[in-house]
Structure 1
Amino acid sequence: MRVTQSMLSNNMLRNLNTSYGKLGKLQEQLYSGKKITRPSDDPVIAIKGMSYRTELDRTSQYKRNIGEANTWLDTTDDALGQAGEILNRVKELVVQAANDTNVVEDREKMQKEMEQLKRQLQDIANTQIGDKYIFSGTQTDKPLYVDGVPNPNIVPGTTGLDADIEIDVFEAVRINVNTPGKDMFEEIDNFMDTIITTLQTGTGEEIGELLGDIAAGTNDSLADIHGTLLKSRADVGARQNRVELMEQRLDLHEINVTKQMSMNEDTEYAATITELVTQESIHQAGLSVGAKIIQQTLVDFIR
């Protein structure tokens, strides 16, 4: 086959274009810090990168969910802690009222404080996060108490009052964030009514019997109510610990996925710079050889 001057020229230009393309690609990798700048550069790397980004987006959503779970659990824990402090004050007042040295006016003062403590406990039962009542099960739009009495719109046995509100915190992992409180606060409210009535009409001996119930921890006593409250708070604490562990797991998962994504698509600068220098040398050599093998034209001789 006869090799013509045009064939040599075309072949040299084609090789130079290929060399320029390689140089341009290497320079893009250094400028962008990425192995590819478009999916067509390497479809496998592109598909893996999409998968890693999807996983990171999902992890970010789980972390936002964990933030919401912490809000629910922390608010519930604070509310139950406040209720426990009030019950401690109730116990102090009952102990004080059982003393026969109290006159009628003293017990009236204690009764008024008991009434205020009862209303405060009802306010705690109506604790909200945003516009959601946290102790109403899944009926978060309904408070447990309205104007000092149980909400008439909440019917005992209604579906949802004792239901759990669960939040996704990881793949196939859900955590219950609410504490249904209707029965517990209803029990507290009824017991407060008993105390107030006893302070109004009861004798020192009857108040002493109430104190005996508290000390003995019999059914429907303040000790039992306080125990139920502490049990609920312990359950909340256990869930808080689990959420914290899940948060740590998500942090590690995010670090691992980010590392894998970086290994998949980030430029290895040392290797890329070395390859760029090598390619530049090859390109310069190609230019030099091309200038020598291309013969001069007739016009060059005429000059």
Structure 2
Amino acid sequence: MRVTNSMMMNRMMLNMSNNLKRMDRIQNDLASGVRIHKPSDDPIAVSRSLKIRTDISQNDQFNRNVGDAQSILEKTEHSLNELNNVLQRIRELTVQASNGTITPDDMDKIKAEVVQLKEHIIRAGNDTYVGRHLFSGFSTEQKLLNEDGTVNVNIDYGNLNNQNIEYQIGISARVKVNLTGSEVFGAIQDDNKPKLISDIDKLITSLERGNNLEVSNSIQDIDDNISNILRLRGDIGARISTIEVIRNRIEDTKINFTRLLSETEDTDIGESIMKMNMYESVYRASLAIGARVIQPTLIDFLR
């Protein structure tokens, strides 16, 4: 086979171009910090990278849901604590009023304070979080109670127990973030008021009559309502604890996903520098050899 000078030069230029391309690719990897610039660079790694990025995005949404759920539950727990404090004060006043030696004037003062505390309870029942009512079930834009303690006609009070608002905080994990009015205030009574409000109204009526026995009988009703509030606070506390555990798990998962994404996409700096030095040596060698191949001409032989 005849090897011409033109063939040697073409082969030399092709090899030099290939060496330069390898150097350019490694230099691009080092400069950008990633080794995948287009799908053809590593189709399998690109597919894996897209899946990991999808998982990270989903994990971030779960983390946002956890934050929202925890805020709602903490606000609900605050409202329950407020209700508990008010009911405890009403109980103290009820015990005081059940004393047979109390004067009518003192009875009137106790009644006036109980009326004020009742109004406080109604306001707590209409508590909101970012404009959404906490105890109104799905009808978050509607307040639960009217100013007189009756149930808002726009609230389907009898069906509130089935109106659970849930947040998805994991692939197969959901948490209930609300308490309904029927859970907190009890079943609706004949006067269209929840049991808790109706019990306080009966207490106020007994105080107006000055009937110590009826007032004394109201203590058990108040105790029942306090027990219910305490039970609900325990339930909310358990949910908050569960959410905190899940939040920690989500944060750990994000760290793992970020590490996997880095291993898939990022440039191995040490390895790339080693390759860069090797490719540079090869390129310099090809230049030196090319100079020797190109150098001989007819003039060199005529000297």
TM-score, length basis structure 1: 0.91
Distance 1:38 1:302, change over 3 A: farther
> Aligned partners of 1:206, 1:46: CA distance in 2, in Å?
77
For 1:154, the aligned partner's letter is I
1:200 partnered with 2:200:
no
1:239 partnered with 2:247:
no
> Aligned partners of 1:77, 1:263: CA distance in 2, in Å?
43
Kept in 1: contact 2:111–2:207 (CA 8 A): yes
Distance 1:290 1:183, change over 3 A: closer
- Report the CA distance between 1:296 and its aligned residue: 2.9
Number of residue pairs matched by the alignment: 294
1:214-229 to 2 correspondence within 5 Å?
214=220, 221-229=221-229
Q: Deviations over 1:198-234 (max 9, x none)?
A: 10013234323434xx3xxxxxx21111111111111
- Report the CA distance between 1:278 and its aligned residue: 0.9
Give the gaps of 5 or more residues in structure 1: 215-220
> Aligned partners of 1:155, 1:206: CA distance in 2, in Å?
32
- SS at 2:296's partner residue? coil
For 1:110, the aligned partner's letter is I
1:152 partnered with 2:160:
no
- Report the CA distance between 1:64 and its aligned residue: 0.5
> Aligned partners of 2:198, 2:183: CA distance in 1, in Å?
10
- Report the CA distance between 1:131 and its aligned residue: 2.2
Query: Aligned Cα RMSD in Å?
Result: 1.8
Percent of counterpart pairs with the same letter? 33
Residue 12 of structure 2 is matched in structure 1 by 12
For 2:124, the aligned partner's letter is I
> Aligned partners of 1:71, 1:111: CA distance in 2, in Å?
36
- Report the CA distance between 1:72 and its aligned residue: 1.1
> Aligned partners of 1:209, 1:162: CA distance in 2, in Å?
33
Residue 74 of structure 1 is matched in structure 2 by 74
Distance 1:87 1:228, change over 3 A: same
- Report the CA distance between 1:161 and its aligned residue: 5.1
Give the gaps of 5 or more residues in structure 2: 186-193
> Aligned partners of 2:6, 2:57: CA distance in 1, in Å?
56
Residue 100 of structure 1 is matched in structure 2 by 100
- Report the CA distance between 1:255 and its aligned residue: 0.7
For 1:181, the aligned partner's letter is G
1:187 partnered with 2:188:
no
Residue 22 of structure 1 is matched in structure 2 by 22
Distance 1:277 1:183, change over 3 A: closer
Kept in 2: contact 1:72–1:129 (CA 8 A): yes
1:111 partnered with 2:119:
no
1:82-93 to 2 correspondence within 5 Å?
82-93=82-93
> Aligned partners of 2:35, 2:199: CA distance in 1, in Å?
71
- SS at 1:168's partner residue? strand
- Report the CA distance between 1:299 and its aligned residue: 6.5
For 1:116, the aligned partner's letter is Q
Q: Deviations over 1:125-153 (max 9, x none)?
A: 11111221111122212211122232122
Distance 1:290 1:99, change over 3 A: same
For 1:117, the aligned partner's letter is L
1:45-64 to 2 correspondence within 5 Å?
45-64=45-64
Kept in 1: contact 2:119–2:147 (CA 8 A): no
- SS at 1:157's partner residue? helix
Residue 265 of structure 1 is matched in structure 2 by 265
Structure 1 segments (4+ residues) deviating >6 Å: 299-303
Kept in 2: contact 1:136–1:161 (CA 8 A): no
Moved more, 174-183 or 82-91: 174-183
Kept in 1: contact 2:142–2:155 (CA 8 A): yes
Kept in 1: contact 2:167–2:176 (CA 8 A): yes
Kept in 2: contact 1:65–1:167 (CA 8 A): yes
- Report the CA distance between 1:14 and its aligned residue: 0.6
- SS at 1:108's partner residue? helix
> Aligned partners of 2:35, 2:183: CA distance in 1, in Å?
61
Q: Deviations over 1:217-254 (max 9, x none)?
A: xxxx2111111111111111111111111101101110
Residue 253 of structure 2 is matched in structure 1 by 253
